[in-house]
Amino acid sequence: MKHYYLSFLFIISVFCSCNIINPTEKIPAYISIDTFLLNTDVGIQGSNAAKITDAWIYVNDNPIGVFELPCKVPAINEGSCKISIGPGIKTNGISATRTIYPFYKNYTTQVDLIPEMETKISPVTAYFDSISFPFKTNFDDAAGISFEATNKSDTGVFITNTPGEVFEGNGSLKAVLAQDTGYLEFRQVDAVQLPKQGKLVFAELNFNCNKVVTVVLYSNYVSSAPKIDNVISLAPTDGKWNKIYIDLTRYVSTEVNASNYRLYFTASKADKKGPLILLMDNLKIVAQQQ
């Protein structure tokens, strides 16, 4: 009898210890997000076209993780919860440089999370009021085109109003290079002043191209040649429009004595597989205020 009693105690102790080691798992609630939209004051901030690829999610100020959109995310929370979502981008279009875009506000809301239930959130962001737009154009006005071909270029740039070539609005900038072994180079008509000392500077751009195009920054000096930096290459988009956020911060801040700056776009046509075609829209330079 004593043997069975001890065996029973042993079984009970093992069962209890297993529950301590493996406690009952909480049933998660779910947060789902399809897209992250941008609202803008068009006259001051330009187009609301954005490419927010990720959601940086916080529940009650605790990080849950970074999730590519669209997403459905489990959260071990229930009841009324504060949800904050940071608008994530790929800096320079590179997946390894995912970050919250520093010029977009986080979206915050209060929701009731219920285990096993899905709560859909539709976040909307906006630019911070404390930033500036040293340059922006939507290429809608052919008379006021803000880019020009250089004397090195084998072709020019112009405003197209052709349906299918315009991203939005009334026009987009277009360049066509048909000449084999030809060269395309165009630049901002007017150089711009940009903040230095590590203050953030980005260029935003919608583009559609069938060959590689290089974005170049000229840091101009009064009494010496400009410093030329090849910032990034725009990859072909297979006939589709893309948007990119280009980080210019280190290039601008490194040239602390530059008087102003100017964006150039260059491309070479080394093959015989048809003309190079580039379309651009909604180019902005966005910066922390000086």
The domain spanning residue 118 has which CATH number? Answer: 2.60.40
Residue-wise pLDDT for 99-108, tens only, equals: 999 999 999 9
Half-sphere exposure for 190 (CA within 13 Å, toward CB) = 10
Kindly report, residue by residue over 50-97, the tens digit of the pLDDT.
Answer: 999 999 999 999 999 999 999 999 999 999 999 999 999 999 999 999
Check whether residue 114 and residue 84 sit in a common domain. yes
How much is the mean pLDDT over the chain?
92
Q: Could you tell me if 103 and 235 lie in one domain? A: no
Tell me if residue 248 falls in helix, strand or coil. coil
Do residues 84 and 152 share a domain?
no
Nearest alpha carbon to residue 145 among 165, 176, 179, 170: 170
Tell me the C-alpha distance between 127 and 133, whole Å.
11
pLDDT higher than 90, residue 168: yes
Q: Do 172 and 240 belong together in one domain?
A: yes
Instruction: Evaluate whether residue 2 is within a structural domain.
Output: no
The reply to whether 3 falls in a domain is: no
The CA–CA distances, whole Å, from 149 to 114, 176, 183, 185 equal 59, 12, 11, 6
Tell me whether residue 217 is in a domain.
yes
User: How many independent structural domains does the chain possess?
Assistant: 2
Residues 282 and 140 in one domain: yes
Q: Are residues 174 and 36 in the same domain?
A: no
* Same domain assignment for residues 223 and 181: yes
Average pLDDT of the residues in 167-172 = 96
Closest C-alpha among 54, 124, 128 to residue 88: 54
Q: Is residue 180 part of a domain?
A: yes
CATH code where residue 262 lies: 2.60.120.260
Q: Distances from the Cα of 286 to the Cαs of 35, 54, 112, 283, in angstroms? A: 23, 20, 37, 10
User: Same structural domain for residues 278 and 195?
Assistant: yes
The tokens of 136 are what?
């922006």
Q: Are 86 and 106 in contact (CB under 8 A)?
A: yes
Res. 181 pLDDT band, cuts 50 70 90: confident
Instruction: Compute the half-sphere exposure of residue 199: CA atoms within 13 Å on the CB side of its CA.
Output: 15
Cα 240 from Cα 210, distance rounded (Å) = 9
Residues 117, 155 within the same domain: no
Tell which of 126, 151, 169 closes a domain: 126
Nearest to 211 by CA among 159, 156, 276: 276
Q: Are residues 189 and 275 in the same domain?
A: yes
Only one residue has tokens 């901030």, namely: 45
Q: Kindly list the distances between the CA atom of residue 67 and the CA atoms of 72, 87, 228, in Å, as whole numbers in the listed order.
A: 9, 11, 36
Q: Are residues 53 and 99 both part of a single domain?
A: yes
Q: Write the pLDDT tens digit of every residue in 10-28.
A: 444 444 444 455 566 789 9
Report which secondary-structure segment, H or E, holds 21: helix 2-21
Final residue of a structural domain among 87, 109, 126:
126
Do the domain assignments include residue 218? yes
Single residue among 126, 145, 180 that ends a domain in this structure: 126
1: in domain: no
What does the pLDDT look like over 30-45, one tens digit per residue?
999 999 999 999 999 9
pLDDT at 32: 98
Residue 32 lies in a domain: yes
Question: What pLDDT is recorded for position 272?
Answer: 77
Tokens describing residue 4: 């069975």
pLDDT for 14 = 44
pLDDT of residue 5: 41
Q: How many CB atoms are closer than 10 A to CB 201?
A: 24
User: Is pLDDT at 233 greater than 50 in this prediction?
Assistant: yes
Domain extent for 205: 131-288
Whether residue 253 sits in one domain with residue 110:
no
> Is residue 258 in a domain?
yes
Residue type, 84: S
